[in-house]
Amino acid sequence: MEKLIEKALNGDARSIARLITLVESESPYAESLMKTIYPHSGKAHIIGITGSPGAGKSTLVDKMIKEMKSKGKKVGVIAVDPSSPFSGGAVLGDRLRMQQHSVDKDVFIRSMGTRGSLGGLSRATYEAALILDACGKDVVIIETVGVGQSEVDIVKIADTVCLVLVPGMGDDIQIMKAGIMEIADVFIVNKADRDGAERIATEVKMMLDLMPKRSWLPPVVTTIAEKGEGIKELCSKIEEHYFFLTNSEEGKRKKYQRLTNEVEAILAKEIARIVEDAWENMKSKELLDDLAQRRKDPYSVAKELLDNILCGGNLNV
């Protein structure tokens, strides 16, 4: 195990992949692995790319990898598989599209499933990002489909959140209404070779104008990912945002908020485990009979269980 971690920390792709598999499969080693990895992390710029299915996220990521590599950066990519079956084909497409970088030792690409118990981006994705960070990637890009909870979850992970919009898709405005406007740090209007790109860009700018002013005004970048147009500008805006984060109170606040979330997520998981174990021990046919016959009520049972945990000293953490 130590040897594996050491190799991964030195950038060995195969070892990194094995570490990610350990967190993905929720191996019993995962916790001690993360403890060892953690002090080495905190250096990478974590970028989230989110947007509707088919908006061109993977194509953008592919071109961004190229651009970042040309600047000498080591890049890690996590593509969070959309859980809905209709995008299965697209996921396969992702792998093919991004494959040209997969033999490259400075670029690491990994697909992951959205299995997390709290929905959306799983905890494993976050841990995988930390692993890539610790193993020397300068940039970690997380691609996720902006459906349901995942676009909100990505804020908890990414330093810079990019939202991809495309012309001619009515749901873009819906996405904006769903609170995503507040969380995006960079707006991308992709497929600018199609009609209506300017209009969307203007609409976004107008909506941003109406929102409470923040010290960072999210830029709106127009791209044609397929042709690599606008990618340089996009990457420089993303970098500007990182610079802003590392030099502002807002950035510090965001970082502290994320650390708070991290501790809370671990606590919630631990507490759930303790409570579940205790409930399994307490549960009996007699108790369920008592509940069914209304001799006992679930509130008092739950309270008794908690009292047992808190006073009985069986906090076996």
Chosen from ligand GTP, Mg ion, none, partner binding at 74 (C-beta under 5 to 8 Å by type): none
Q: Of the two residues 33 and 166, which places its CB atom closer to ligand GTP in the complex?
A: 166
Nearest residue to 163 via CA among 60, 26, 67: 60
Q: How far is the CB of 120 from Mg ion (least distance, A)?
A: 16
Residue 72: both structure tokens together: 């000498």
Q: How far is the CB of 12 from Mg ion (least distance, A)?
A: 27
Q: How far is the CB of 267 from ligand GTP (least distance, A)?
A: 33
Nearest residue to 76 via CA among 162, 170, 158: 158
Q: How far is the CB of 127 from ligand GTP (least distance, A)?
A: 22
Find the distance separating the first CA and the last CA of the chain, reported in whole Å: 23
Is residue 59 involved in binding Mg ion (CB under 5 A)? no
Residue 317: both structure tokens together: 């953490």
C-alpha torsion sign, points 237, 243, 245, 247: negative
Question: Is the CB of residue 301 less than 8 Å from the CB of residue 287?
Answer: yes
Q: How far is the CB of 95 from ligand GTP (least distance, A)?
A: 11
- Output the residue with the shortest Cβ distance to Mg ion: 58
Is residue 81 involved in binding Mg ion (CB under 5 A)? no
- Output the residue with the shortest Cβ distance to ligand GTP: 90
Q: How far is the CB of 264 from ligand GTP (least distance, A)?
A: 30
Q: How far is the CB of 79 from ligand GTP (least distance, A)?
A: 7
Q: At what angle do helices 30-37 and 13-24 cross, to 10 degrees?
A: 130
Is residue 58 involved in binding Mg ion (CB under 5 A)? yes
- Could you say which of 36, 69, 73, 87 contacts ligand GTP (CB under 6 A)? 87
Is residue 190 involved in binding ligand GTP (CB under 6 A)? yes
3-state SS class at 28: coil
- Could you say which of 145, 158, 180, 221 contacts ligand GTP (CB under 6 A)? 145
Q: Which residues between 34 and 63 bind ligand GTP (CB under 6 A)?
A: 51, 53-59
Q: Which residues between 93 and 112 bind ligand GTP (CB under 6 A)?
A: 93-94
What is the DSSP code string of 183-216?
H-SEEEE--TTSTTHHHHHHHHHHHHHHSPP-SS
Chosen from ligand GTP, Mg ion, none, partner binding at 183 (C-beta under 5 to 8 Å by type): none
Which one of 25-33, 35-43, 88-96, 235-243 is the stretch in contact with Mg ion (CB under 5 A)?
Answer: 88-96
What type of residue is 294?
Answer: R
Q: At what angle do helices 249-282 and 298-311 cross, to 10 degrees?
A: 110
Site string for Mg ion, 91-120 (x = CB under 5 A): ---x--------------------------
Is residue 50 involved in binding Mg ion (CB under 5 A)? no
Q: How far is the CB of 194 from Mg ion (least distance, A)?
A: 18
Q: Which residues between 216 and 235 bind ligand GTP (CB under 6 A)?
A: 224-226
What type of residue is 7?
Answer: K
Which one of 35-43, 82-90, 129-137, 253-261 is the stretch in contact with ligand GTP (CB under 6 A)?
Answer: 82-90
C-alpha torsion sign, points 242, 247, 248, 250: positive
Question: Is the CB of residue 219 less than 8 Å from the CB of residue 237?
Answer: yes
Q: Give the residue ranges of DSSP H helices in the chain.
A: 2-9, 13-24, 30-37, 57-70, 88-98, 123-134, 150-157, 171-175, 181-183, 197-210, 231-246, 249-282, 285-292, 298-311
The residue ranges that bind Mg ion (CB under 5 A) are: 57-58, 94
The residue ranges that bind ligand GTP (CB under 6 A) are: 51, 53-59, 82, 87, 90, 93-94, 145, 190-191, 193-194, 224-226
